[in-house]
Amino acid sequence: MNIRFAEINDIKQLIKMRWDFTIEYDESKRNSSFEDFERECQSFLEDAINNDHWFIWVAEEKGKVISHIYIELIQKVPRPGRVTYPFAYMTNVYTVPEFRNMGLGSKIIKAINMWVKENNCEFVIVWPSDDSINYYKKNGYVHCTEPMEYFPYRTPSIRFNFPREY
């Protein structure tokens, strides 16, 4: 198994994994247009891989991407009297079903944890699903006070039951 950053030739696999991840948690999305999604996701991934704003970590086995974690670096506004470092937003954490519960995700997250230290990230933030809280805890993550949210296009009382890293 090889843990590395995603490359352009991984895009088709990453698109399919994102589709599968979404369908796994929301069957109603199965009726969506895969072609429209593929076009949008292709553009996003090309930009993400070719720039230094997103870092997509993958685990591959025999040329097949079997797990991934997306990291977006968020630059903070400088503050007098201290050096300002970015923080990392972790999202789209997914392992294909047949490779789950083998410690693969923990191997990737350990590599990411070392990388964020080496790159002076101030902290990593992730919104875990209820099912993944123990995964993050065993990898050194702690609960923090929930941030506030604002949704400009929906009523505040409406909540969706997607996993947080969705």
Position 166 scores a pLDDT of 46
DSSP secondary structure code for residue 8 in this structure? G
What does the pLDDT look like over 39-62, one tens digit per residue?
Answer: 999 999 999 999 999 999 999 999
Token reading at 51: 């720039």
Residue 92 has pLDDT above 50, yes or no: yes
Any domain includes 72: yes
* Domain that includes residue 101, residue range: 2-126
Exposed, middle or buried: residue 50 (CB in 10 Å: 0-12, 13-18, 19+)?
exposed
- Look at residue 97 and tell me if it is in a domain: yes
Q: What is the DSSP letter of 67?
A: E
Q: What Å distances lie between residue 32 and 40, 41, 111, 114, CA to CA?
A: 13, 14, 34, 38
Please state, in angstroms and rounded to a whole number, the distance separating the CA atoms of residues 122 and 137. Answer: 18
Check residues 148 and 124 and name the one with the higher pLDDT.
124
Residue 152 placed within a domain: no
| Residue 69 in domain | yes
Task: Please check whether residue 20 lies inside any domain of the structure.
Answer: yes
Q: Give 4-30 pLDDT, tens digit per residue.
A: 999 999 999 999 999 999 998 888 888
Whether residue 147 lies inside any domain: the answer is no
In a domain, 153, yes or no: no
Residue 68 lies in a domain: yes
Confidence bin at 164 (pLDDT 50/70/90): low
> How many independent structural domains does the chain possess?
1
pLDDT at 8: 97
For residue 65, the domain's CATH number is 3.40.630.30
59 with 104: CB under 8 angstroms?
yes
